[in-house]
Each structure stands twice: as C-alpha cells, then as structure tokens.
Structure 1
Amino acid sequence: MKRFIVLLCLLLAAPSARADEALRLRQRTSINQIGARLLASHLRHNGMANAMVSGPSLFYGLSVLALGADGASRNLLRSQLLSDQGVEASVADIAGPLAKQLSTEVTAGETGGSFRLSQGVWSTNGASGSQPFLLKREFVLAAQTHYGASHRLIDFEAAGAAQTINSWAEQRTNGLIPSIIDDPTLAKLRWVILNTALFEGGWGTAMQRVAPGGAYRFVTLDGRPQAARSIRSARYSAQVVDLEDGSVAFQLPFAGEKYAFLVHVPAAEQKHIDRWLLEAAIPALPETTQRVFSGNGARQPLMVQLPSFSFSDGVSMVTGSPIAADLGLAPLFDSSANLDRLSAQPSQLGLVRHHSRIELNENGVRAAATTLIGGIRRTSIGPVSPTRQIVVNRPFVFAIVARASQTLLFNGVLMAPPPDAAR
C-alpha cells in the first residue's frame, strides 16, 4: 500500500515538476521579448496591418547561428537571447532543453494541440564555378546535437536550388508556408540556417461558426464597421485579467490544455488603438501573458465571440535594416562580425527573412513560421461572477502560448478580418 501511495504521489508530481522546469528555462531566455519586439518593430516600420511573428522561430534560428559565432558577436547573441547574463551557461545549454519542453507531437486520432520546431543548415558546394563554402565539422555536429539540425551541401547557384530549401520548409509546415527564398536571392548567399515552427490545435471548448449578416461587426483601425464571419464559444471557465488601462486579456484553451490562445482587446473607450498597440499592448505582451497564465486570479464563466480569419505575413532584415537595429542585431551584418566557429572562410550575415501564416476558424488554429538566416562572404554584400460575454470586434493582440512555460509561440495583431472572412 505504501508503495502504491508513493508511486501515485510521484505520478501526480511529475507534470508539475515538468511545468516548473519549463517555466524556469523560459525565464532564463528572452524568447518572449524577442517576439514582442519583432512584432512592434515590424508594425512600426512596415505599417499597421495584420501581422504575426514567431519568437521561437527567430530565437532558434539565432541560437544555431550563436554556435558559429565567437568574440563580440557571440557575446552579442548571448545578450539578445538570454536574460540570465550572470550564469556561465551557453545559449545551447538553455535553448536546447527548452525546445524539448515546448514541442509536442500528436499521433493520428488525437485532438490535443501540437507544436514542432525543425532546423536545417545548408551551404553551397560551388558546383557552378564559385568557391564552395565549407562549414566547420564542430559547428555542424553542435547544431545536430543541440537542435537536431540537418546539414546539406547543394549548389546555391543552380537553377531550382531554392526549391530544395522551400520544399523542406513546406513539408515541415504542412504546406502553410510553401516558399521562403527564390533562386536569385539564394545565389548571393553562401550558407543558410532555416528554422520552421508549426502549431496545430483544436479548441478545448465547443465553438460555433457564425455567418456574417447578424449583429456582429468588426470595427477596423479607422473606425469603420465591417461585416465578418465569426466564431462563438460555448460557456467555459477561464481567468480574465482586467488591466489598468481598461483593456481585457483572456485565454481560449486548446484541446489537451498544454497550449492556449491568448486575446488582449482594447478598452471600449480607447480612441488611439494604433498607439495602444505599439506603446502598450505589444511591449507588455510578455507581462500580460504571465498575468493571464499565472493562475493567481479567480476563474469566471465566459462566452466569447471573435472573428475567424487567415492571413500570411513576412518581414526581412538586411544591412542597414531599422528592424535589425531595433532587435540589436545590426552588428552581425557588419564586416566585423565574428563567425569564425561556423567556417574557416570569412563570412557575415546577409539576410534574415521571417515568414508566417495563421488560419483560425471554428475547428481550431493552424499557425506556422519560418526564419531563414543567410550568410555572405565578408566584403560581399477576481470572485466567481455570472457568465461574462466578450465580443472581440476591434483590432486586438493575439498569441498562441505554451501554458507551462508561458512561452509566446506566435504573437500578432488583427487590424481587420481579410475579405474572405466575410464569405
């Protein structure tokens, strides 16, 4: 009997211990801050439109790059990727175990949410006449050991070479992102690090599709009401956070409850939603996530209505990019960048390209992102209350969150449902 009780206690404690470890690992990184900063910078420099990024996709692409960096470049990447600067631990020592905590593979027939990260590394073999670019064996082995990254040598200048990389990304995003690079761009690069992030999950509470034409209208950033297809939840229980500025943040669970969809909507009287997004909601997203998933507040019955939508997005960084400067990555594009642990041949960053797509409807959410990092030769170029109803009908911030670690897997904004959402 004693053995049974001890075994039962161990089984009950195991999920809690894993959750504590996931949270501890995430807190030692800047993974949530990177996603929020990238989203805000993207909107600031590219315009206020529907947008989504994946902090983990960029974080893990840069984490592989950190294996090849040395000197000041290595220190820069460490400072941008880790929040805990006082501990002598490499990025890989923390990021590698965190990736295992974030990922979940779901077998056929299961309905729980799943999240998968994949890494690949390519370098050119120079078959078309240019000099091949050889990666150091130590770098390739480290990328494989810590992040499961595969390595392939291909001819970057051959016709159709980009399709090899695109097909790899398309397969690992289940077709959501079919293309990340083209032949002319690839021909200018010498090596490529590619990360893909894929989330698929059904709702953990019943959702009903609502056709446009009823009382629901989505009010766009410029104040225009717009007919839109929406989804409405059944009654469920969740923690709701009423923030100091009058805005409201809450979560919708995915099946299995490892992941959740976070929504942060502005106060009804908020007149300057663009400023609210850029100056308040997005910068505070890591803190808001912590408050929503802390479990410190009382749960309350909810019924939620929000638009169904789908869109694709993309952002790029090159030499002189203001987004690279905002993220503190500009020195990596300079000829003084030290990537000596990646290759014996001199190299610097030439391109960071981030693509994403999200599809949200009454069945659930599919979201994917790819981050391509390309290198060039140096010198080249409260209490329980009655059921609360929340109608999300103004531009809002959203995120897909791994609950245990409170990691923002994807985060974005919806300014207006795309036209196809009204059909």
Structure 2
Amino acid sequence: MKRNWIALGLGLMLALTACEISGAKDRHGADQAVGQNPEQPMPLDQKEREAILTKLDKRIAEAENAFGLRLHRELTKTTGKTDNLVLSPYSISTALALAYNGSAGQTAAEMEKVLGWKGIGLDKVNEGNSQLKSLLEKGAGVTLNIANAVWVQKGYAFQENYLNRVKTSYGAEARSADLSSQAFVEEINGWVDQKTNGMIKGIYQNPPEANSVLVNAIYFNGGWMDEFNPEYTKEENFSLPDGSVKKVPMMRIEEGFGYKESKEWQAVRLPYGDGRMHMLVILPRESSSLEQVHKKLWKDPSVWMDDYSFETVKLGLPKFKAETDLKLEKVLEGLGMKSAVDPQRADFSGMIDGLPLFIGEVKHKAIVDVDEKGTKAAAVTAVGMPTSAAVPMEPVEMTVNRPFFFAIEDRDTGTWIFMGSVNRP
C-alpha cells in the first residue's frame, strides 16, 4: 500500500541585539540603557531564582553544550577551518525538543542519545527545559524573550497529549491555517518579525510543503557592562589562517574582567548588563592555534567553565560580524539520529495521528555582530519533516588579532546560547 507522505516543517528563530540600552545599573551604579520590550517577563527575585536553580537538572544545560560542541566539531571539518562558524546550541536543541515530544520507539531513543538526554526521560527533559527557559527569560539587566508556536494544516490536528506537553513546558501557542497559502506565509513571518522585535523579518518566502510548522523564536537585547570607547577603536592587523594579514577595526579597553590563561591560550569573560550573561573569548597563543584549542574544547570544555580570577585586562577585541548558513540533517544522522531522518523507520507517531513523519531537512542560519556597545545576533533553524581575585599591579595584555573561539553564556546555568569560531572578522 502506498504511503502518502506529508511535510511537517519546524522552525526556530533567535535574535540578539545590544542597541538602545537604558534603565539598568552597571556595577559602578551608573545608568545603563536596556531597551524596553513589552513582552519581557518580570525578573525573578533572588529567592525565586535560587529556588529554581536548586531544582534545575544540571544535565539539561550540560547536554545542550556538549551537543553544540559535537555539532561544532563535525561542522569544523567542512566549514570552520578557514571560514567563520557560528551556531546556537540552545536554539537547535530547543527546536529538536519540540520534535522529540512527538517521537517514539527507536527514533526517540536515538534523539535522546544524540541530544544527551538518555536516561533522563521525557517528563524530566521537559521540566528541565521549562525551568531553563524561565531562568534565561526572567533575569535582570538584559532582555531575553523566548516564544514557541505550533501550526497545523486545517483539517488535521495534533494529538492532545502532544499539545499539552508543548504548551505546558514550552509555552507554545497552537494555531491552525492553510499552510499552502500565501496568507500563512504572511502570518508566520509577521509572528517571527514581532517575536524577534524586527531582527528577523520572516522564515518563509513561499508556502512550505508541510502539514505542520513548529516555531521557536528568541530575542535578546543586552549591552556590555563596560562599553568600549569608540575613540580608541583603530585599524590593526589580524592574522588569517592562511598566514596573510588583514586590517580590522580593533576595539580597546582596560578594565577588570574574569581572566584565565595557560601556555596554549588566554580566556576572558566580558559581562553584559548586570553580569549574568557573558561573552567568553578564548584566544590561542601565537605558539598554538585555533585547531589545538578546538581539540581541547571538544575533549573537555569544563576547563573554561570556572576558576577565573578578576584581573585588570588591557584588551583588544576586533569588531566582527560572523555568519553561517548550514544544513544539519546529515550531521545529525552522522551523530546517531538515523531513524529520525529515514522515511521508512522514523516514528513520530506521538505528534499527528495517522501521518508517518520523518525529518527531511534541518537548516540553521546564524549571525553574530559585535561592536563597542555590545552584541547583535540572529539565528534561524528550520527542521522540515516530510511524512513518511586581587587586581595585579600591571594589567594583563590580550589582543585578539588571530583566529579565536567565543561563546555567549548564561553564568547561572552554564548555558552556551551561542558559540562559534572566528577566522575572518
């Protein structure tokens, strides 16, 4: 009997920006500027935050970071040796979590293993992701909004248990539309535009070949706790992987930061807003290389998690804009998510009755833009599922004038929201 394969699309958008800051205080008590967003949830007080942190299963954030680094390792083989590579582990993991909630059997088991959720169980994964979402959204000093929605083709319906899970744990809106119409394209693109505060205008140009579309959008607005003075930004040399040199606008600051070093690398943490969010920058020594740092990261990222001393750092950091446009389904298959992408073996029977779905395409697009005020970034992931310390006397010097690794992290949970390697700023 011939099976009628129907497409299901799943998309995720993420946007970060650091313009228009007002209203927060930096650590010196000066007024900072945090852009106001009417959808920003009220911040948790310290007692509420500590209560959630106490209950949070740390394996969720650890699994997400490890999953991101495995993707980073595989993608570096083809795209990250000489070009820039940027991805959002949080975004990709959250998008796949929506699909995971509809999976069963071997498909679910493989997804759990690849995503690092083996042995945790669906309920605890959802509970952990819900707690993590609350902690990320409801911090003070930055704006970070997370939104989820699920669309289904008119005439079809999600299973009630599936909808209950994604609504309860991910706050997903449920909508019905004619997904084959241009009106749906305008509707979903309008939703994306609103939820990302205009950073991402839309995800579709034409109607998707889909029976359902699952979308996650994230918007972040935060500036450096200590801004770089634009007057100190000058053109300086940056060494490229091929040995050539290019001129880049190098920002300069001398300030107290979390700092750590070894014979092979230097690392610095640059705080955003009230200090809960940081950008981690890892710079290989001139005697080392980004490739060697990558190998250490992939083997044991815990080296860069703790034990930073507070040092006065004379820092040079290039203004940079890095972007990548990736297809991830083959990488996910290579990591072990095999049945999910196989139309004959995939089991997403927990999503829509009578429709055998499989993951046909996973697209991820990410952009990070760093300047004197802070960071702007955006990412889009689309998963198509057709059926079937003391301050030293002298400052530490760290000039990022050669390829480096970075991560945007939430310090309380250890979540790396973005990570990447910059070879060409």
Same fold by TM-score, threshold 0.5 exceeded? yes
Mapped pair 1:103 → 2:113 = no
| Larger RCO, structures 1/2 (Cα 8 Å, 6+ apart) | 2
Mapped pair 1:328 → 2:368 = no
The equivalences for 1:81-230 within 5 A come to: 81-83=115-117, 85=119, 89-104=123-138, 112-125=141-154, 132-159=155-182, 161-183=184-206, 186=208, 188-209=209-230, 214=235, 216-230=236-250
Partner AA of 2:79 in structure 1: N
What is the aligned partner in structure 2 of residue 6 from structure 1?
none
Unaligned runs of 5+ in 1: 1-10, 107-111, 126-131, 418-423
Shift of the 64–200 alpha-carbon distance from structure 1 to 2, 3 Å rule, reads same
What is the aligned partner in structure 1 of residue 58 from structure 2?
25
The structure 1 segments of at least 4 consecutive aligned residues displaced by more than 6 Å after TM superposition are: 11-14
Q: CA RMSD in A?
A: 2.7
CA distance in 2, matches of 1:123, 1:154: 6
What is the aligned partner in structure 2 of residue 247 from structure 1?
265
Match of 1:302 among 313, 324, 332: 313
1:212–1:227 CA contact under 8 A, matched in 2: no
Shift of the 387–277 alpha-carbon distance from structure 1 to 2, 3 Å rule, reads closer
> How far 1:303 moved relative to its partner?
2.2
Partner AA of 2:244 in structure 1: R
What is the aligned partner in structure 2 of residue 267 from structure 1?
285
Partner AA of 1:397 in structure 2: F
* CA shift digits 1:116-154 (9 cap, x unpaired): 2221212222xxxxxx44321221222111101112222
Partner AA of 2:211 in structure 1: R
2:60–2:128 CA contact under 8 A, matched in 1: no
Partner AA of 2:363 in structure 1: R
The equivalences for 1:313-352 within 5 A come to: 313-318=324-329, 321=330, 323-335=331-343, 336-344=345-353, 345-352=355-362
What is the aligned partner in structure 1 of residue 372 from structure 2?
362
2:368–2:377 CA contact under 8 A, matched in 1: yes
* CA shift digits 1:278-337 (9 cap, x unpaired): 5334x25742442xxx2x34322112111112243221234xx2x122433232111211
CA distance in 2, matches of 1:151, 1:162: 16
Could you say which structure has the higher helix fraction?
A: 1
Q: Percent identity?
A: 23
Match of 1:287 among 296, 299, 302: 302
Partner AA of 1:30 in structure 2: A
What's the TM-score once normalised by structure 2's chain length? 0.80
CA distance in 1, matches of 2:55, 2:269: 22
Unaligned runs of 5+ in 2: 1-44
2:366–2:379 CA contact under 8 A, matched in 1: yes
> Aligned pair count?
377
Partner AA of 2:76 in structure 1: L
> How far 1:103 moved relative to its partner?
1.8
> How far 1:229 moved relative to its partner?
1.3
Match of 2:71 among 28, 38, 59: 38
2:271–2:279 CA contact under 8 A, matched in 1: yes
> How far 1:266 moved relative to its partner?
0.9
* CA shift digits 1:205-238 (9 cap, x unpaired): 1312257755x21111112221111222232232
> How far 1:28 moved relative to its partner?
6.5
What is the aligned partner in structure 2 of residue 276 from structure 1?
292
What's the TM-score once normalised by structure 1's chain length? 0.80
* CA shift digits 1:73-114 (9 cap, x unpaired): 2222223334562678542122111211122366xxxxx223
User: 1:390 is paired with a residue of what secondary structure?
Assistant: strand
Match of 1:413 among 400, 421, 424: 421
* CA shift digits 1:157-189 (9 cap, x unpaired): 2236434333322322233333433426x1x22
